[in-house]
Structure 1
Amino acid sequence: MSTPRTTAARVLGIDGVPIVTALVIVTAYFSATVPAFLDGEGLRYYLNEEVPIFIITAGLALVIIAGGIDLSIGAVLGLSAGTSLLASMHGAPVILAVLVGVGTGAAFGLLNGLVIVKLRLNDFIVTLGTLNIAAGLLVVLTDHVQITGTDDESYLAIANHPVLSVSSALVLAVLVVAVLQAVLVKTAFGRRVRASGAGASPALVAGVDAGRTKLYAYVISGSLAGLGGVLLASRLNSVQPGMAGGYELSAIAAAVLGGVSLAGGRGAIWQAAVGGLLLATLKQGFRLTGVDPLVFSIIIGVCILVGVIVDRSVYRLALTLGSPASVPPRPEPARANGGIGR
């Protein structure tokens, strides 16, 4: 017989319900307590500000589901912003400037994937190393100073052109999330990503080139970091050393809050994006209420811990009280060369 407790467990066990519920609650709270929270201009501003994080969160979620982790995406995003803006400043056509930025990200994604897959090295250590390489290259590229900016209006319009009262950057972010979600659930590559994740059973892994799949996931993640860098440079028309530092932690927090298992093999791109939207909402609410911005770093760490705990607790509750057939398989501990939990 169904009881309120078992019904609640089944509802919370549905993918996406916990994170969407949290977003609704937080939005309702700030809307009721901060009159300026729903101001249209303010909403557009803070959403535009978070577009690069939305985009790299989508790519990172794909890597995590494939059984990896990419700590380099923030630094790669910053470096890609620098290479793209400098290309535009030196007269490159807008298409070439975009390709330079995206290509920079793709090159780092390929480097990460090749080193991890071919040399069978730890994802965490490899991407920590490339994080520092990318950050150092940005310092060299900018010569330790802020660089501003390009006169190419078409380049500046990439992120700032209005589309149905929102920015073109936000529209691109929504398209990236939608396309990557469709790839994950509707294509053979998406099925291979899930199968190569740490939670996949040997039967699922049979016939799947897990290494090649993870390599492609890293290239996609790097390319999206490059795209995020282009959009950031287009919006700000400037780059500086340390740009986008810490973005990788926000992306990890967003993915975890969205139910992407750090053990790999389970998660959804759209839920990770909602996790990013929740963090953006919290940041805007704190900003309007005068909370010290440094407190948000604490919130990021807490969100990662809470997200992992809630993910495990909801799964166990659904397994105990719900129908076993409806409960998704729980990932096993990560393999020796994949996942963050090694």
Structure 2
Amino acid sequence: MSKVLVLGTGCIGAVYACLLSRVDQARVTCVCRSNYDSVKTRGLKISSSIFGDLQARPMVVRNVEEAVSKADEPFDFVVVSTKATDSVTKSVIQQIKSVLTSKQTSIVLIQNGLGVEKPFHKAFPETTIISGVTYLPTTQVSPGVFVHSEVEILHLGLYPSSSSSSSSSSSSLAAPSSSSKPPPLVNFAELVRQGGATARIHDDVQAERWCKIVANGTVNPICALSRCRDRKLVEMSSLAISLFREVMLEIAAVAASAGYSHVVTSDVVEAQLSRTLSRPPPGVQPSMMSDALEERPMEVQAIVGEIVKIAGEKGIHIPRLETLYVLLEGLDQALRSDT
């Protein structure tokens, strides 16, 4: 029996909690905050174009301390799917210290952006960290009720990828010896698959982070600052497509400087742009835009700031991204001042 604690039962955490709850060999506990009463009373409900209608009744707690007090054994996985802001990350690290009392427990980070693993690895250098990059467009329409559509995939890999525990190839990770206990990465991926979802193991999952950030680092800031969904902005302005493409190409240049030119190619840029343009109007409301509209702090550093930082270190010229970053920092500071 694998014991899973989900911290951050918003859109991403809720879907994976619901899917993992379908697995006979998994016991799921969810830490809920704003949607605690609804999830405690009615459980999680997902309406998905891929999975159909899903319902789950995991154990629901208000905080990590309650989860620990009710657990008779250490958790195998702590799934962190919270916002990747500095303040939230610091809070999460403080909270999960009481969970990480056994080498049996691994951290699974399913968050947006680049560099999200660094603070967790610094705080818990002896703990296995599994980094997850997901494509799972989901919206919470009411507390504990979610709508998911378009695509579903979870890319997984160990962090850091150069650690001795990740020296095996992807094929060997995917097919461990029957005489040995599967490592945490393989175990978690198998749980996700048993829940009906798609999980792919990578030797270096950072390549997938860079591929996703091409779109995420473009659409998120532009939509947040314009307060327009992506397709709506394209319909409104003849310059929008060019802006999207040029920002994506700047991100690709930074990815190349970081050693990922073979992954983040011009074809990837065009594919990510086509994905945006193929959506029916008005398009998606990305997470950063949602945060801006709700006057919540945004994931500026994880989604844009880390790219700008690497570009500065490598001497890459990214005038559009730098402009977006400055404006986002200003907006984020204004939102934080009001909260």
Q: Which has the higher helix share?
A: 1
TM over 0.5: no
Q: TM-score, normalised by structure 2?
A: 0.25
Q: Which has the higher contact order (CA 8 A, sep 6+)?
A: 1
Q: TM-score, normalised by structure 1?
A: 0.24
Q: Which has the higher strand share?
A: 2
